[in-house]
Chains A and B, each alone.
Chain A
């Protein structure tokens, strides 16, 4: 009920604005209700006093906020809203949520939920039962461990461990800048992707889910523009590509490190909604990457990181029917340097070969009674995940594309017991990551479920709720993308 009232209020405000500003019907600019005098937002991002000796690089990335109390003020910003079909609800809900909370809360630094209890480490004075003389003896020998082998071992540590061990000594900290370390990291087989998500409650910063440890991490990324809402739209090689909510500017960053880049402006006049895909040239970001945007009118551009510029490599072939009713809720899928996007009218997939610059279209009838569908990928196979609703029963289904017949074949469904929860409810699903390990957000008025589905071993798992440090309430995830955590990826 509260939500409805808020929505009415918001719509009222928007109508007012439309009259006031007479804006272009396809875009709205929503000014903040009031701009209270604030310290410059960048100030809030600086490492806290006393900073005078310039802090070593490892400190400037994550920011502690001892003055948290003062900093939780009204903090508004401009949000550019694109009132587009189908996408409107996402944006409205984001803006509404931001309005509801009354401020864009400064994200608290990453502390474990039980921060008040002393960390386990502080009890390390006690010997655990497993330490024995054999281990102690062992420890003497390792002092001779060859220096040149450290990098190979450290490259094999889980990401969280690596961040912890950066504080072992300065040399280990500096590994992030080492070429040879980068090469070792590239050789380690990639595990599960992580998920970079944006929550309704904190639209300015991300919450990252690590499915291997089943933990949410809440780092703050200082370099992402603080005043705007940016959404993750694609990723490759450990980098995430963001687009601001007005579809104007692209940003690329490595969510784990400070590496960040704002891409040069595109050469378009109208900022309409676009679908985005990203590919690596080689097998790491050292070889560069490309980003493609494509709009419903068939316009597209490709960004090449090596040249740091956008180009228009030709036109879409006339065989591809325009307008492209692109499925903007679905993220693109990248397989061997080709990007795949879902379209409708006619239903199917359009693909772009990033290497050879060739567009193709595949007409593929969609399964019946399908909603909230999105493309996914696993081991080179193209998959589809969506909600199947018949009568009052809703179920999450997985299809695989049969290449020979160009038909979707159902290969799996969410366990019945879980689907029962949705019975009779109006459920919306968002895909927060679509490669190999899918992460799905299922929402209805009272329900907010997160699950992962491992395509290769057909395993459905529940995801712990996303709770900010020191918070209790589960966050609502608005959108997200999967990315492979890579310590050495450079934007």
Chain B
């Protein structure tokens, strides 16, 4: 749960929004977290403009491109991020939170099922969830960083459009970049 309930500002941190996934599940999310999904934020602000009565509490925001399992993970990740309207922590609290977040991130990646990472990246992209997208893109980059060129081609289904002699020359001349590559 967000620890922003001490915040004296009326707008909010305890305000909740409801998000509806592609499989018709409803998620109640604190506004502070939901606002990190810029697509949601945009929708919410458009709604405000069209003068809906209660702020967020009765509006259900549809997310037809996001499955519930994926949204659950993204929300959970969003909660762990430093909240923009949180009371400023002292240095020690900040360090503890950082460590917790790191631990959470490592656990998240370890338990990732095949295919989940792709869904998470696609969803984060659709939701325009900047921090989530950075994190999961980095996870993908980390996965392929020691792989061979052939692995990457197979992985993404990319066709090699180099001539064999071109490729051979390139590998010779950039030999230093080809050291320490994982076996496929």
Which positions in A face B, CB cutoff 8 Å?
47, 55-56, 58-59, 61-64, 109-112, 115, 119-121, 123-124, 126-128, 131, 134-135, 137-139, 141-146, 149-150, 152-154, 156-158, 160-161, 163-170, 172, 187, 213, 215, 217-219
Contact = CB atoms under 8 A, between A and B. Distances in A.
Contacts of A47: 169
A155 B111 CA distance: 25
Given A124-B183, A168-B152, A109 B162 contact: no
A17 to B, nearest CB: 40
B99 interface: no
B178 A169 contact: no
Contact of A126 (B150, B178, B183): B183
Instruction: Pick from B155, B176, B180 the residue with the most CB of A within 10 Å.
Output: B176
Given A143-B156, A158-B145, A167 B183 contact: no
Given A156-B138, A165-B149, A142 B156 contact: yes
Contacts of B144: 153, 157, 161
Nearest to B119: A141
Contacts of A165: 149, 152
Nearest to B113: A134
Contact of A154 (B118, B141, B166, B184): B141
Given A131-B184, A169-B162, A219-B176, A149 B121 contact: yes
B153 interface: yes
A139 B154 contact: yes
A254 to B, nearest CB: 16
Nearest to A216: B176
B146 interface: yes
A216 B64 CA distance: 50
A160 B171 contact: no
B160 A59 contact: no
B175 A111 contact: yes
Contacts of B114: 134-135, 137-138, 141
A56 B162 CA distance: 10
Given A112-B175, A131-B184, A138-B115, A59 B169 contact: yes
Interface of B: 114-115, 118, 121-122, 125, 133-134, 137-138, 140-141, 144-146, 148-150, 152-162, 166-167, 169-184
A146 B162 contact: no
A168 B182 contact: no
Contact of B172 (A64, A139, A142, A164): A64
Contacts of B157: 142-143
Contacts of B115: 137-138, 141
A63 B173 contact: yes
B137 A152 contact: yes
Contacts of B137: 149, 152-153, 156
Given A124-B150, A160-B177, A161-B145, 9 more contacts: A109-B173, A111-B175, A112-B179, A121-B148, A124-B184, A134-B114, A157-B145, A166-B170, A170-B161
Contacts of B159: 169
B166 to A, nearest CB: 6
Contacts of A160: 176-177, 179
A59 B148 CA distance: 19
Contacts of A124: 148, 150, 183-184
B44 to A, nearest CB: 25
Nearest to B171: A167
B174 A168 contact: no
A128 B183 contact: yes
A128 B174 CA distance: 25
Contacts of A115: 175
Contact of A62 (B122, B152, B166, B173): B173
28 contacts: A58-B170, A59-B169, A59-B173, A109-B173, A111-B172, A112-B179, A119-B179, A119-B181, A124-B150, A128-B182, A138-B114, A141-B114, A142-B156, A143-B156, A153-B140, A157-B141, A157-B144, A160-B177, A160-B179, A161-B146, A164-B174, A167-B171, A168-B149, A168-B158, A172-B158, A213-B180, A215-B176, A218-B176
Contacts of A158: 145
